[in-house]
Amino acid sequence: MAKPGKTGFARIFDAFFYSMKGFKAVWKHEAAFRQEALLAAILIPLAFFTATSAVELVLLIASVLWVIMAELANSAVEAVVDRTGSERHELSGRAKDIGSALVFVSLALLAIVWVIIIANRFNWLGFLWSV
């Protein structure tokens, strides 16, 4: 059974404003998000100068956006866990740690993509592809 509520363009319109409300909340309450947004503001324009192909450009930008998505998910998990209570609980700690691990993996992915593409551009890894 479908959930009651708006449909069509009205639902999309409302969803956009809910998303903007989410961005506003994460900006206000999460220092890590602000730092990663600054990183994105630097790296996304830099990607246009670094990439030598459309595929490289997509990989560079996608790796940056994945960090933003991971931080949004992590912040949502933290907000829900914090909402349920302030007492320490093993599952609450586990949920927060897993969210943190998600952000860590996304940052590792970003580093791997950027290092390989930059190294390839300057032929620092030529020995790998010369075989």
User: Any catalytic annotation for residue 71?
Assistant: yes
- CATH number, domain with residue 75: 1.10.287.3610
Distance (Å) of CA 1 to CA 4, 7, 12, 31: 9, 14, 20, 40
Residue 13 lies in a domain: no
Q: pTM (2 decimals)?
A: 0.84
Over its C-alpha atoms, the chain yields an Rg (Å, rounded) of 19
Residue 100 lies in a domain: yes
Other residues' Cβ atoms within 10 Å of the Cβ of residue 124: 12
Tokens of 36: 């990663």
29 is in an annotated binding site: no
Task: For residue 61, give its domain range.
Answer: 52-126
Residue 6 lies in a domain: no
Q: Are 87 and 123 in contact (CB under 8 A)?
A: no
Other residues' Cβ atoms within 10 Å of the Cβ of residue 52: 10
Residue 15: exposed, middle, or buried by beta-carbon count in 10 A (0-12, 13-18, 19+)?
Answer: exposed
Residue 3 lies in a domain: no
Q: How far apart are CA 88 and CA 54, in angstroms?
A: 48
Active-site entry in 71, 74, 99, 117: 71
83 is in an annotated binding site: no
Residue 44 lies in a domain: no
Residue 85 lies in a domain: yes
89 is in an annotated binding site: yes
Q: Are 79 and 47 in contact (CB under 8 A)?
A: no
Q: Are 63 and 50 in contact (CB under 8 A)?
A: no
pLDDT attached to residue 109: 98
- What is the domain count for the chain? 1
- Provide the residue-wise pLDDT of the chain in tens; the chain has 131 residues: 666 777 888 889 899 999 999 999 999 999 999 999 999 999 999 999 999 999 999 999 999 999 999 999 999 999 999 887 778 888 888 999 999 999 999 999 999 999 999 998 888 776 665 53
